[in-house]
Structure 1
Amino acid sequence: MAEPIHINARVRENAEAISAALEDHMLKVFAPDARKELRRFSAGEAAELLGISPSFLRKLHFENRVPEVHTTPGGRRHYSGEDLQEIRKILDNTAKTKGTYLRGRREGDKVQVLSFLNFKGGSGKTTSSIHTAQRLALKGYRVLAVDIDPQASLTTLFGYRPEYDFLHSGTIYDAIRYDDPVPMSQIIQKTYFTGIDLAPGGLILQEFEHETPQALMANMQPPFFARMAAALQEVEAEYDVIIFDCPPQLGYLTMSALCASTGVLITIVPNMLDIASMAQFLQMSADLLDVVSNAGASMEFDFLRFLINRYEPNDGPQQQVVAFLRQLFGEEVMVSSMLKSTAISDAGLTTQTLYEVDRSQFHRNTYDRAIDSLNQVNDEVESLIQKAWGR
């Protein structure tokens, strides 16, 4: 007779085995105790990010109007994130119109808070949110990435190990918990990526889901839906854009993020099962948001958009689904779609994004197709932010 399986012990063994294997993988990819570093960018990439031509960038160097940067023995210039920030400031100081190159908040602009969400796992929320955060940071925006998913994939992509680094403290949970919350500024981490700070996530975020029903019964203030917005108030002056990576469920964490948001991006994989799932998600969202709205939460957004994710343009059924969505939701479906790409998934094997890896590591056409797709999506998000600021 076969030995019975003690599921709790087996699950623990599996968890420990995966954790050890991931630790080993990280040590092979990155040196022990090393934090990730942002690569330098070519002159062509730098010019595109600055919004100028490569020839104008060369002219700036020739006239000594910008500081010298890292140059290879062959004479090729490479730019760090800090170099791009410095050049952008110099360009804006000499521009006829202020804000031409520094496109972040001006006096009177409210911070833009974007939530990436969907009820279904695997719809590309984390991939979308981190690439948007990084593209905006590379274009000069001050970005705070907030990981409210207990699985903490966004935190992992920034080079942290949530199960070690933030097992008991140091996550966004500390700033929104009911018992003795800490100031938001105490949990924000500087990241290796110039222009991005991180409010980490971790498993302890589940406690917020468990504690909120009791807090509602005890009428603890501020209520759950206002706690995220209240925590962000302390630091929002430091940022142009705040980006939430939400968990794949409509719990108290997601609703607290929505109540703090000015824009919502719902990621959707174009197949009928995912759309059926999204229909249920939207119905539940509407019902629950009615409840929190009646309780006093602000439910006004500058924009709501559906972002087509993992799109394969040569897939006939997917094309039909996208056409169906555009007919149904009109301009609320983003013009640009995030292509399904092996380049993005391959970069993920070393816990990197496509903006972090060098083009030489991939087949050129594969990389170019993927990066063009990402840039178009994220530049469309940027235009929505600019429009919300009245520009």
Structure 2
Amino acid sequence: MHSDIERISELADAGERMIERLRRKAFLPESRKGLHVRFGIAEAAQLLGCSTNRIRMAEEDGRLPPPPPSENGRRPGYTVEELLNMRQVLGASPARAPLDVPAIIAVQNFKGGVGKSTVTTHLAHYFAVQGYRVLVVDCDSQATTTTLFGFNPHFNITREETLYPYLSIDPTQADLLYAVKKTPWPNVDLIPSNLELFDVEYELAAAGADGGSILATRFRKLKAGLNDLARDYDVVILDPPPALGTISLAVMQAANALLVPLAATTPDFCSTVQFLSMMDQVLHQLTEAGIDVRYDFVRLICSKFDGNDPSHAMVRQIMEQAFGPALLPVPILESAEISHAAMRMMTIYELDRPIGTARTHKRCKANLDEALGQVEALVRRNWGRVAPASEEDVVNEAA
């Protein structure tokens, strides 16, 4: 007769085996996630802010490789890697200047179910498509972001590959380079997580009388390690645990920007208000302890918004009245396309074809581009720049 506690262990093991089966099914034949998305010449030109003619001329004169070969009379489009090369050749890279401070954005809310990890991964891939160098740091032992990047935290990631060896009471790593993994995206790297990262919380909680000084040291250490890594990136995105703990506090102090996703429901609104109140108290305590916390921007973004649901519209109106300009004006719309992509452990930006209808996919991607583009605009504004003008804008302005 099994006890209920043994039953929990059996359920966890069965669930992990099922995740691995799903992962293998999604990433056949070699069970490794790939990136197969392609961009047509018109979309490539739009992303680069130039004309299709400029791309064709660069291909004709040899500055760019010849266009991809046709398949059944249709060009298959450009890969992300080819787009990055085009940006370099045509001078269309959005990368920060050497003196610009990398954006280190924490995507945080203590309320579960707001799409925190989904926002994190979509934001990372959005920045990647736009041509930025991105590092994603999964600080959550639940490791949803790690899973969405194609790694199984239980089977593929050891504790020594997470933040643990750097943040533990007895660290074995002096910097964070050891933890950086390549992803299918050529310009996105990942520091993964797994359940054993939670050991950091246990260790620091058991630190005893010296706990305060040890905590302060760990806070400063994570910030120093991320700042060191950030030199090679434009944007660093942190996915902290959805609870107030040691790692969450360290992430709050390490970030220089805060993005708070919340769903358009009354419980989510109330929970987020509590989160902000708690953040306020904690930040004051950190400041009193001599731990400096500064954010270039703090914004809330409404996620999972259903424009056809009157209750969502009502709660969003309440958000606008309460938060004012701190609430980003364009919400992330609820979409079956996002849910279907997540089932395949993917984001919308990784799909090489629509899962639902082409219209639904196009509408979903356009919304994500607009919503996440708001965050890009904040980053660029902090660098003292705005989004680069397209050739069409320049011509129209001259006229």
Q: Report the TM-score range of the alignment, normalised by the length of the smaller protein.
A: over 0.9
Matched, 1:45 2:43: yes
Matched, 1:178 2:178: no
Which ranges in structure 2 are unaligned for 5 or more consecutive residues?
386-399
Deviation of 1:146 (Å): 0.3
Summarize the Cα distance change of 1:229–1:176 in structure 2 as closer, same or farther, 3 Å threshold: same
Matched, 1:251 2:248: no
Q: Specify which of 104, 110, 132 is matched with residue 95 of structure 2.
A: 104
Deviations 1:123-181 (A, max 9, x none): 01111111111111121111100001101011111111111122332012222222124
Counterparts of residues 1-391 of structure 1 (less than 5 Å): 6-31=3-28, 33-43=30-40, 44-73=42-71, 74-92=73-91, 101-182=92-173, 183-215=175-207, 217-218=209-210, 219-220=213-214, 223-391=217-385
Deviation of 1:264 (Å): 0.4
Deviation of 1:60 (Å): 3.4
- Distance across 1 between alignment mates of 2:265 and 2:227: 39
Deviation of 1:222 (Å): 5.5
Deviations 1:55-90 (A, max 9, x none): 443343344432224322314142112111111001
In structure 2, the residue corresponding to 1:205 is in which secondary structure? Answer: helix
Deviations 1:222-245 (A, max 9, x none): 523222112213322111110001
User: Larger deviation: 294-303 or 22-31?
Assistant: 22-31
- Distance across 2 between alignment mates of 1:47 and 1:166: 38
In structure 1, the residue corresponding to 2:155 is in which secondary structure? Answer: helix
Which ranges in structure 1 are unaligned for 5 or more consecutive residues?
93-100
- TM-score by length of structure 1 reads 0.92
- Distance across 2 between alignment mates of 1:53 and 1:6: 67
Check whether the contact 2:34–2:184 (CA below 8 A) recurs between aligned residues.
yes
- Distance across 2 between alignment mates of 1:272 and 1:148: 28
Deviation of 1:32 (Å): 5.6
- Distance across 2 between alignment mates of 1:157 and 1:351: 5
Deviation of 1:195 (Å): 0.4
In structure 1, the residue corresponding to 2:135 is in which secondary structure? Answer: strand
Deviation of 1:221 (Å): 7.4
Check whether the contact 2:105–2:236 (CA below 8 A) recurs between aligned residues.
yes
What is the RMSD of the two structures over their aligned residues, measured on CA atoms? 1.8
Summarize the Cα distance change of 1:69–1:188 in structure 2 as closer, same or farther, 3 Å threshold: farther
- TM-score by length of structure 2 reads 0.91
Summarize the Cα distance change of 1:84–1:216 in structure 2 as closer, same or farther, 3 Å threshold: farther
- Distance across 1 between alignment mates of 2:228 and 2:295: 21
Deviation of 1:22 (Å): 1.7
* Code of the aligned partner of 1:204: E
Check whether the contact 1:111–1:240 (CA below 8 A) recurs between aligned residues.
yes
Deviations 1:275-315 (A, max 9, x none): 11112211122112211121122221110000000001121
Aligned-pair identity (%): 32
Deviations 1:335-365 (A, max 9, x none): 2110000000001111111101123433011
- Distance across 1 between alignment mates of 2:340 and 2:322: 34
- Distance across 1 between alignment mates of 2:29 and 2:366: 34
Deviation of 1:216 (Å): 6.7
* Code of the aligned partner of 1:103: P
In structure 2, the residue corresponding to 1:299 is in which secondary structure? Answer: coil
- Distance across 1 between alignment mates of 2:96 and 2:361: 32
User: Larger deviation: 340-349 or 41-50?
Assistant: 41-50
- Distance across 2 between alignment mates of 1:202 and 1:71: 42
User: Match of 2:391?
Assistant: none
User: Larger deviation: 198-207 or 359-368?
Assistant: 359-368
Check whether the contact 1:115–1:257 (CA below 8 A) recurs between aligned residues.
yes
